Amino acid sequence: MPDILLTALNAKFPHAAFGLRYLMANLGSLAARAEIAEFDINRRPLEMVEEILARRPRIVGLGVYIWNVTLAGEVAALLKRLEPGLILILGGPEISFETGAQAIAQLADYVITGEADLKFAEVCRQILDGVPPARGIIPSPIPDLSQVALPYEWYGEDDLRHRITYVETSRGCPFGCEFCLSALEVPVRTFPPAEVLASLERLLQRGARHFKFVDRTFNVNLRLARAVLEFFLARQLPGLFLHFELVPDRLPGSLRDLLRQFPAGMVQLEIGVQTFNPEVAARINRRQDYQRVIENFHFLRQHTQAHLHADLVAGLPGETMASFAAGFDQLLALDPQEIQVGILKRLRGAPIARHDAEWGMVYSPLPPYELLRNRTLTFEEMTRLRRFARTWDLVANSGNFPSATPLLWHQQTSAFAGFLEWSDWLFAREGRGHSIALFRLCELLFRFLTTVRKLEPGATAQSLLRDYQKTGRSDLPPFLKPFIPENCPSPSRAAISGGGKRQIRHAAPG
């Protein structure tokens, strides 16, 4: 039975708990007295507590994040109710700010704020040696990354086969975008490059093929970014998939030359544009050269085979429906394979809170603390934007309708406005803009395109049938049958397997 149990409530099974593995790697001699127990947030709290207590730990370390804070509070309450003598230590970004105001913090014996890689081991050692620190909030100083042991040996064989392998080369961000906690992490700190590359080599040898780099700004340290890309170019193994988050206006020739060499399907780039409104960007301290952003998108689409996942945030202070629509249309014209429309969240500790009074920012008090309204966007407009985001994910980002999606804004002056009309129409009929079965969604698309957009039914049916059968279905939906010629050939197996399906989502939850 372990003395220390490190516990994570992950958003989904493929999301291995990266932070807990860092804690385990840095326990030193205490690692032999510790175990990791991972769950996902679809489990019932009592079931998780049963498994935790069955191991009879003396100390439980629980990671608290925006996506699991409610459930983590329930687990913490049950643990302390059943075993009052159990030492409960909380950590993680959600509990590291505004700590005293959170109910879950009142349940804990200790809350370690900040990067707890080294501090957690120190606190556990004091407790197990019988000289515990005073209970309460313990701030962790920013650790020297050269002293932090890398966690990759704590990925098990099943993790490497079935889960995303999270890795990082650096922590922090040189930019001060006020909606992001990374704005507080200045300067950027890097792990020793030789250790990083050696760890990547060992992971590859053990069978890891699916890597997500969690660096907030992978391409800020150009020397290290080049070293990592060159490392993987020299080892192009079957099934290798790499995800990087890039600063959109920083793509010098040396990185361009490397990125153009990767084959299709191997690299996904997450590019956080966030807003095309210069006034809004300046207001939230986001610095980016928009002309370079545009040039870099053109290069990546025309000269590389990378999958581009671009981000926009709806609800930033001063952004209006019209300016967000213009930004969306501008980003869509740059042709990324995915556009993630995120709703502004009021992350605990993020400097965005300084705009609350001036811009009338009203956030939900419930996780994930999304914006409900502000001075320039009404509650009704924010609700429509939230539905737009879900419907865009369902139809456009899914890759299920590559032929039909552009028809939604065919002959419209704005793609955003055209898709928003479809999103509103869909909600009026289904009461939701997500979790709609493919067959039903295809039928609704056909009705909208032929009755609202008044597109020719035969050509529209052909487009939808191509999309429908590219998902692997070989049947002919009855609502399309009257508009499909009897001698229309079915798509080849190659066409079905190559149907433009989306890349697997790697963004951190929340």
Give residue 243's pLDDT. 98
Give residue 211's pLDDT. 97
Q: Are residues 342 and 468 in the same domain?
A: no
Assess if residue 388 is contained within a domain: no
Give 434's pLDDT tier (boundaries 50, 70, 90). confident
Which domain covers residue 247, as residue numbers? 155-377
Report the distance separating Cα 165 and Cα 159, nearest Å: 8
Question: Is 498 a residue whose pLDDT tops 50?
Answer: no
Give residue 495's pLDDT. 42
Report the distance separating Cα 254 and Cα 225, nearest Å: 10
Q: Are residues 191 and 102 in the same domain?
A: no
Q: What number is the average pLDDT over the span 276-297? A: 96
pLDDT tens digits, 54-71: 999 999 999 999 999 999
Q: Are residues 100 and 177 in the same domain?
A: no
Continuous segment of H or E residues that includes residue 450: helix 438-451
User: Which string of DSSP letters, residue by residue, matches 361-428?
Assistant: -EE-SSTT-BEEE-SSS-HHHHHHHHHHHHHHIIIIITSS-TTTGGGGGTT-S-HHHHHHHHHHHHHH
Question: Is 489 a residue whose pLDDT tops 80?
Answer: no
Assess if residue 270 is contained within a domain: yes
Count of Cβ atoms closer than 10 Å to residue 454 Cβ: 9
- Measure Cα distances from 43 to 51, 275, 471 in Å: 11, 37, 30
Give residue 493's pLDDT. 39
Question: Is 506 a residue whose pLDDT tops 50?
Answer: no
Assess if residue 393 is contained within a domain: no
Continuous segment of H or E residues that includes residue 90: strand 87-91
Q: Are residues 226 and 331 in the same domain?
A: yes
Assess if residue 383 is contained within a domain: no
Assess if residue 306 is contained within a domain: yes
pLDDT tens digits, 131-186: 999 999 999 999 999 999 999 999 999 999 999 999 999 999 888 899 998 767 66
Assess if residue 390 is contained within a domain: no
Q: Are residues 278 and 169 in the same domain?
A: yes
Q: What is the CATH number of the domain that holds 256?
A: 3.80.30.20
Work out the widest C-alpha separation in the chain, in whole angstroms: 82
CA torsion angle for 76, 82, 84, 88 (degrees, to 10)?
-30
Report the distance separating Cα 114 and Cα 143, nearest Å: 10
Among 145, 169, 195, identify where a domain stops: 145
For the ranges 269-278, 279-288, 416-425, 481-490, the lowest mean pLDDT is seen at 481-490
Report the distance separating Cα 64 and Cα 90, nearest Å: 7
Greater confidence (495 vs 239) lies with: 239
Give residue 454's pLDDT. 97
What is the token pair recorded at 405?
């999606």
Side chain identity at residue 125, one-letter code: R
Strands 189-190 and 170-171: antiparallel
- Measure Cα distances from 2 to 27, 37, 48, 56 in Å: 13, 11, 16, 7
Assess if residue 437 is contained within a domain: yes
Q: Are residues 13 and 127 in the same domain?
A: yes
Residue 358: half-sphere exposure toward Cβ, Cα within 13 Å: 8
Report the distance separating Cα 212 and Cα 166, nearest Å: 5
Give residue 488's pLDDT. 64
Tokens 């049958």, residue located: 481
Q: Are residues 189 and 318 in the same domain?
A: yes
Mean pLDDT rounded to a whole number for the chain:
93
Give residue 404's pLDDT. 97
What is the token pair recorded at 127?
């407790």
% of the chain with per-residue pLDDT over 90:
89
Q: Are residues 141 and 165 in the same domain?
A: no
Continuous segment of H or E residues that includes residue 442: helix 438-451
pLDDT tens digits, 446-467: 999 999 999 999 999 999 999 9
Q: What is the CATH number of the domain that holds 19?
A: 3.40.50.2300
For the ranges 184-198, 304-318, 354-368, 451-465, the lowest mean pLDDT is seen at 184-198
- Measure Cα distances from 237 to 70, 150, 208, 241, 266 in Å: 41, 23, 10, 9, 10
Give residue 505's pLDDT. 37
Assess if residue 349 is contained within a domain: yes
* Bridge partner residues of 61 (DSSP): 6, 89
Q: Are residues 307 and 187 in the same domain?
A: yes
Among 98, 124, 145, identify where a domain stops: 145
Among 145, 180, 210, identify where a domain stops: 145
Count of domains forming the chain: 3
Q: What number is the average pLDDT over the span 374-399? A: 97
Question: Is 427 a residue whose pLDDT tops 50?
Answer: yes
Tokens 């981000």, residue located: 311
pLDDT tens digits, 77-134: 999 999 999 999 999 999 999 999 999 999 999 999 999 999 999 999 999 999 999 9
Report the distance separating Cα 193 and Cα 169, nearest Å: 7
- Measure Cα distances from 457 to 247, 400, 453, 482 in Å: 43, 20, 11, 9
Q: Are residues 407 and 289 in the same domain?
A: no
Please name which of 246, 273, 386, 257 lies closest in space to residue 333, comparing C-alpha atoms.
Answer: 273
Q: Are residues 337 and 272 in the same domain?
A: yes
Q: Are residues 185 and 273 in the same domain?
A: yes
